[in-house]
Amino acid sequence: MPGMKLALLRRTLAALGLCLAAHADATPGILPSELLPQPVSVVSVSSAGFQFDRSVRVEADAAFNDPAHYLVMQLGLHPKAASQRVVRLVMDPTVGAVEGAYRLKVREQEIRIEAAGAPGAFYGIQTVLQMLPPPVRGQHAARDELVVPAVDIEDAPRFAWRGLSLDVVRHFFGVAEVKRIIDSMAAYKLNRLHLHLTDDAAWRVAIRGYPKLTTIGARGEFGRPDAPARFYTEADIRSLVRYAAERQITIVPEIEMPGHAGAAARAYPEFFDGGHTYNPANPATFRFIDKVLTEVTRLFPGPTIHFGGDEVFVAHTNWPKMPDVIALARQLDPNAPEPDLRRVEADFARRVADMVHAHGRTPMGWDEIVSAGFSGDAVIQWWRASNPDALAGALQQGQAIVLSPMDHIYLDYSQGPGEPGAPWDGTLNGAASAEHIASWEPLPDGRESPLGQHVLGIEACMWTELVRSNDYLEYMLYPRLAAVAEVAWRRQVNSAPAAFSARLVPHIERWRAQGRTAREKTRDAFRFIMH
């Protein structure tokens, strides 16, 4: 990456300076100027830094007991330590109007984190942890001579929704692997993990009352229909939900419908069109869907349920050949000269969205539902960069929007020329490198524009048709996950790719110290070319 050698030299000199200022043998971590996402304000202070060892005590207002426990566990601190050096988590309702805002002051005897709520306290902790050496997080234990430099930081996120969508259908990733991703998301202040749980290849979540969804539907993966059944049990889901919540992350489950539903069709063909698409003319179909949603809302306590809705007519569907579906189309629009199956598609989305609302949750769907004519209350995830009309339609209808344009933040695309990645359309703006992502401005006309007033945030997508191992998954995620976090958090776009590359250097070092696969240069792609 451009600027990396210069960045390494600067880090070495700066680190040496910190060591001399704080303690002769102290080991520096990431410098305040290299934090990702970049805080709103960083002011270095000319004084000794804060030294961590096991004797450091943690004091927290009652509302911040959970973040305090997280810090103690991460660094192996003694809960009842009596040191003069203290980390204080202080509730202060004046700290910003945005959820997640915090103030951080680091001095020789005290680290003070002020926030109006638990998210802000947690993000302040993440900033502190970034400034510790990489082995600390990898070993989960405090050591002598760990120094956080003296600094004043004021910070707050740009967007409320800072997400990653992970496809666990095409290739399955177990609980331990997903938790490692959750840890990385938390470290970079992302707060939504969208799990794509069902598709044509497999069904990955156990549902009470419908055992064949896992005994039959969980078999297979992309390109290997004979792969053994793999799925998340109820205990697995509860473990993931709890683990994510402890890290201020909400899991958003996605149950794909009406298309991309081949796994469920193999298990319960009576609710389908003879192919991979639900039969919208069969009343039993919606009873089945409602029971599934009942279970999904029981397992996932978050406020949002994603029901898919994409590519109904791109994938194979038998709707045009089905007399009962044609009859439904005529019933929905009796004045149309020809039966309009888009009306059926929109009506399907309306009925499912109503079910989600009835369960007390907010429905979410891909932007195709807007193109079909859906105008209800739902969060719209816009991914088709080549179809701005869908985005415009959601704006006109006043719907909340999450931006996931495939030409900017699809992480299954290659990171550089000649590197491995998905061959789908969407790379019109070049390879999806970390620098490319970090230079993207989601709101070119500002926060006060019509788009700015309806956008909840952004979400990167990691589709896994071609991602067959955890090693390759990490290679595709890192360092791009940090670039996504930078765009989601920072208020000003990165206009200097070389400077951003330089700031990535210590983060790549950190991931590698933690045993993760992280791309630095094109040569790192060679072992995945024939993946």
Give the mean pLDDT of 21-38: 67
Please say if the pLDDT value at position 27 is more than 70. Answer: no
Give the mean pLDDT of 278-288: 98
Name the band, by pLDDT with cuts 50, 70 and 90, for residue 141: very low
Please say if the pLDDT value at position 138 is more than 80. Answer: no
DSSP assignment of 147-160 equals EEPPEEEEE--S-S
Residue spans per domain, the chain: 4-155, 161-528
Please say if the pLDDT value at position 433 is more than 50. Answer: yes
Q: What is the pLDDT of residue 25?
A: 36
pTM: 0.93
Q: pLDDT digits over 99-131, tens only?
A: 999 999 999 999 999 999 999 999 999 999 999
**Which residues lie below 8 Å from residue 181, measured CB to CB, with a gap of 6+?**
164, 166, 173, 193, 477
Please say if the pLDDT value at position 384 is more than 90. Answer: yes
- Give CA–CA dist 240/338, Å, rounded: 48
Please say if the pLDDT value at position 425 is more than 80. Answer: no
DSSP assignment of 154-201 equals EE--S-SEEEEEEE-SSS---HHHHHHHHHHHHHTT--EEEEE-BSSS
Q: pLDDT digits over 223-265, tens only?
A: 999 999 999 999 999 999 999 999 999 999 999 999 999 999 9
Residues in the chain: 531
Name the band, by pLDDT with cuts 50, 70 and 90, for residue 279: very high
Beta strand spans in 179-283 (E): 192-196, 250-257
In the numeric block, the tokens 């070495």 are attached to 12
Q: What is the pLDDT of residue 438?
A: 94
Q: What is the pLDDT of residue 429?
A: 67
CA atoms within 13 A on the CB side of 109: 3
Q: pLDDT exceeding 70 applies to what percent of the chain?
A: 91
Lowest mean pLDDT among 33-37, 240-244, 478-482, 488-492: 488-492
Cβ–Cβ < 8 Å for 46, 151 = no
Lowest mean pLDDT among 192-206, 221-235, 341-355, 512-526: 512-526
Q: What is the pLDDT of residue 77?
A: 87
Lowest mean pLDDT among 54-63, 283-292, 297-306: 54-63
Name the band, by pLDDT with cuts 50, 70 and 90, for residue 18: very low
Name the band, by pLDDT with cuts 50, 70 and 90, for residue 426: low
Tokens representing residue 123 in the block: 């993000």
Tokens representing residue 379 in the block: 């969060």
**Which residues lie below 8 Å from residue 368, measured CB to CB, with a gap of 6+?**
309, 310, 311, 312, 345, 384, 390
Q: Which of 495, 456, 435, 494 is nearest to 162 (CA)?
A: 456
Give the mean pLDDT of 428-446: 89
Name the band, by pLDDT with cuts 50, 70 and 90, for residue 16: very low
Give the mean pLDDT of 10-21: 40
Tokens representing residue 271 in the block: 């609710």
Q: What is the mean pLDDT of the chain?
A: 91
Euclidean distance between the first and the last CA atom of the chain, given in angstroms as a whole number: 23
- Give CA–CA dist 180/157, Å, rounded: 23
Right CATH for 4-155 from 3.30.379.10, 3.30.70.1060, 3.30.930.10, 1.10.760.10: 3.30.379.10
Name the band, by pLDDT with cuts 50, 70 and 90, for residue 96: confident
Residue 404, amino acid = S
Tell whether omega for the bond before 79 is within 30 degrees of 0, i.e. cis: no
| CATH code for the part of the protein at 161-528 | 3.20.20.80
